[in-house]
Amino acid sequence: MAKITDPDKLSRSTQASSGTADGNVFFNLSSKTIELIDTGGWASTNELLDTNYNSGGVSIQTLYSFLKEQWKSDSELVKYAFPMEAITAEQFEFINGWVLTDFKLIRDGGFAERDAAGVVQKEYAGIISLGTLADAAGQPYFAFSDDVVKTDFQYAGQVNEPILIFTEGGTDDRANALTVFVRSAPTGSSGNVTGYQFVQTSTSDIGVTSLATQAYRFPLAQAVDPNVTLTVAEVEATGGVFDDMRIEYYTGSESITDTGTTFSVGVVIDANFDDADTSPTLTQIYQWVQNELRQSTDINVSPGDVTADVIGLLTDPLVVFVGATLKTLRQSDNKGVFIEGVGSTDLNNVEFVDNSDASQTYPFKVGVNLDFNVNILDDPNSKYFLFYTTNTGGAFGTANTVAVTKDAGGSVAGDIHTAAASYSGSMSGTSDGAIVAASRTLTVTGAAWTVNELVGKILSVDGTNIGKYYVLSNTATVITIRADGKIFDVDDATSTWSLIEPNVNGGSTPRVTFTYNYAGNVDGGRTADTVADVTLVALGLEKAQYAKAASSITKVNSVTVPVSNPLERNYDDPIGV
């Protein structure tokens, strides 16, 4: 049954809903109450449904019109003072001590309640949302500017109902800003998720500074959010990238220098606060932030120093996707927002708003992947170097060849295999290893390795046997290196050693990554923000021949520079040095 807008579809009941109702409006003449009855057994075709905006309730103007018809035609009712006064078609007053027993079925307007002496006891504003909600079951809610908890509207979906704004001798919210929210959680299951955009509108957005007993229309159109692909359980699961995220709210200004310029914000989203894990993607950051903004608890985390609770579901939105760019949003207190811990390949797709409402971005930077083949993997002593092919300071192949430098500083060069290995036995880095060259062994007294847990790892040794060696096998205290590569030269009773993981980049071949400051790099006098032609050089000893490959770093988010080293068949160092 649709919303009732015709008084002919209202009927006076001789009993309240607690009895045997035979109509949908009951007048209690002794207590001066009007009850709207939503039970439909008496006349299902005119049922006053207790349901949502689209299919239930009664227009307050229709109720007023019905009361006029009843008082005009009923000789008993006309003996009593009339219950309502119309101010406009959407603004009414219940007068002479008359009140509704429940206002949840009223639609399309606001009203006041005056006692028999004419003193206003309560005031209600009619809240109507405009636009459709992609999540038809989404629960809208509201809060006034000084609230610390939300209040749900009576029904899910679009809004059309009164809310209490004033109580004599109690709360007065008429001058407080009102915000209407819909922040639906994603629906569906893992791999088949539908997400929804956050929408909210405040009285300031519709030009209202003080609420009265009338209808107010709030734009509240919600669309599906294609950037939400995870369930709530997946975002809140422990042990992943989401564990290292936090939001920091500051009372003052937090100075930011990460982009190369200095600006201030009041909120910092730290997407990888311990810097120990892989940086999250922008969609992961976005989905985690949105999940925080559905929380009913304080989401501010130290070093954020705001002392009052920042309730997630009542605070301002922080981020929004505009195309592929994740942008931060200025807060209602005019504070800016910064995201820390963005991955290097995403730096070109983030934009921040600062306290002055200015947009801040990173200089354009390129995530560069240097890819190597299995021969480099098999050579524990392999190295790489990246040079400019052409450069005003010196082209490749000349004495003045210019090395490419990273955004973080330092030239792009080094060992292929560098990451410390994990294992269960003795710690590395001390002079506690005894090398016997003839047996290709390193013995560490007191070690407690699991047998053969080190197979395939790389043993790095300093001193007279300096170099890297692939581990063939191990016992609890003894490592034996492979014989088909570099071997020990001499015995050494006090060798300094460490263990390294082969660089397989989560796959089967090595990769080295770095960030190139495309917009700001002036190595060797090059012109910034132009294509950089580069030459990648890689070589090993026993397994990988010398190889080079030319490529270009262009103005895109990510570039891969591959080089393929032929298998080394002729290198020979009989003494193992």
Tokens of 359: 């947009």
User: Is 25 a residue whose pLDDT tops 50?
Assistant: yes
Q: Rounded to the nearest 5 degrees, what angle is found at the Cα of 452, between the Cα atoms of 451 and 458? A: 135
Q: What would the mean pLDDT of 297-315 be, rounded to a whole number?
A: 97
User: Is 52 a residue whose pLDDT tops 60?
Assistant: no
Percent helix, strand, coil in the chain, to 5, is 10, 35, 55
User: Is 111 a residue whose pLDDT tops 90?
Assistant: yes
Q: Is the dihedral of CA 66, 71, 76, 82 positive or negative?
A: positive
Q: Which of 116-125, 194-203, 483-492 has the lowest mean pLDDT?
A: 483-492
User: Is 1 a residue whose pLDDT tops 80?
Assistant: no
Q: What is the reported pLDDT for 51?
A: 53
Q: What is the reported pLDDT for 427?
A: 74
Write out pLDDT tens, residues 242-257. 999 999 999 999 999 9
Write out pLDDT tens, residues 183-227. 999 999 999 999 999 999 999 999 999 999 999 999 999 999 999
Beta strands in 295-420 (DSSP E): 319-322, 325-328, 337-340, 350-353, 359-360, 366-371, 383-388, 413-415
Tokens of 41: 């057994």
Q: What is the reported pLDDT for 273?
A: 84
Q: What is the reported pLDDT for 41?
A: 45
User: Is 138 a residue whose pLDDT tops 50?
Assistant: yes
User: Is 65 a residue whose pLDDT tops 80?
Assistant: yes
What is the full DSSP assignment across 286-302?
HHHHHHHTT-SSB-B-T
User: What is the band of 42 on the pLDDT scale with cuts at 50, 70, 90?
Assistant: very low
Write out pLDDT tens, residues 325-334. 999 999 999 9
Question: What percent of the chain stands above pLDDT 90?
Answer: 83
What is the full DSSP assignment across 125-169?
EEEEEES-BSSTT---EEEETT-SS-EE-SSSSS-EEEEEEEETT
What is the full DSSP assignment across 234-275?
HHH-SSSGGGG-EEEEEEEEEEE-TTSS-EEEEEEEESSTTS
User: Is 296 a residue whose pLDDT tops 70?
Assistant: yes
Phi, psi (5° rounding) for residue 508?
Answer: -130, -5
User: Is 44 a residue whose pLDDT tops 70?
Assistant: no
Q: 553-574: buried (b, 16+ CB within 10 Å) or exposed (e) per residue?
A: beeeeebebebebeebeeeeee
Question: What percent of the chain stands above pLDDT 70?
Answer: 96
Q: Are 26 and 34 in contact (CB under 8 A)?
A: yes
User: Is 562 a residue whose pLDDT tops 50?
Assistant: yes
The Cα 478–Cα 31 span in angstroms is: 94
Q: What is the reported pLDDT for 307?
A: 96
Write out pLDDT tens, residues 392-402. 999 999 999 99
Write out pLDDT tens, residues 71-107. 999 999 999 999 999 999 999 999 999 999 999 899 9
Write out pLDDT tens, residues 465-487. 999 999 999 999 999 999 988 89
Tokens of 347: 């730096």
Domains of the chain (ranges; CATH) run 7-225 (no CATH), 232-360 (no CATH), 366-417+506-562 (2.60.40), 431-490 (no CATH)
3-state secondary structure of 365: coil
Write out pLDDT tens, residues 510-558. 999 999 999 999 999 999 999 999 999 999 999 999 999 999 999 998 8
